Structure 1
Amino acid sequence: MTTMELVSTLRARGSLEKEYHLTERFRSYRDTSNSSFTLTVTDVVHSDSAVYYCRVWGAIHGNGTQLIVTNPADDPILVQDPPISKVPEGVTVQLHCALYNASVNVTDVHWYHQRPGNKIEWALSHFVNDSVSRSGYISDRFQSYRNVVSNSYILTISHSSISDTAVYNCRVWSYIYGGGTQLNVTVANPPVPIQSPSQESITEGQSARLWCTMKNAAVGNTDVHWYRRLPGQDMEWVLTHEAGGSVRRRPGFTERFQPSRNSSSSSFILIVTKVKVNDSADYYCRVWGDSSGNGTRLIVIKADKGGSSKVLVSILVSILVLVLLFCILITAICYVKKWACFQQRLKPEGCSTKAMNTVYATVTAETEVNTQAATNVTASEQSEMCYADIHFRQQKKAPKLKVTEETTEYAVIKRAQ
Structure 2
Amino acid sequence: MRILHTGDWHLGRTLLGADLLEHQAAFADFLVDTVRDRAVDLVVIAGDVYDRAIPPVDAVRLLSRTLERLAQTATVVLTPGNHDSAARLGFGAGVMHDRVRIVAEPARLADPVLLADDHGPVAVYGIPYLHPDLTRYALAPVPDEPLARSHQAVVEAAVDRIRADLGARPGHRSVVVAHAFVSGAAPSDSEQDIRVGGVDQVSATVFDGIDYVALGHLHGPQRVGDGDRIRYAGSPLAFSFGERHQRKSVTLVDLAADGGVAVELLPAPVPRRLVDVRATIDAIESGAHHADADAWVRVAVTDTVHPERMYARVRDHFPFALAVTHEPAERPERVAARAVSATSDPVEVAADFVTFATGAAPDDDDLAVLTEAYEAALQTLDADGTR
TM-score when scaled to structure 1? 0.23
Which structure has the larger Rg?
Answer: 1
The structure with higher relative contact order (CA 8 Å, sep 6+) is 2
Which structure is higher in helix share?
A: 2
TM-score (norm 2): 0.25
Which has the larger share of strand?
Answer: 1
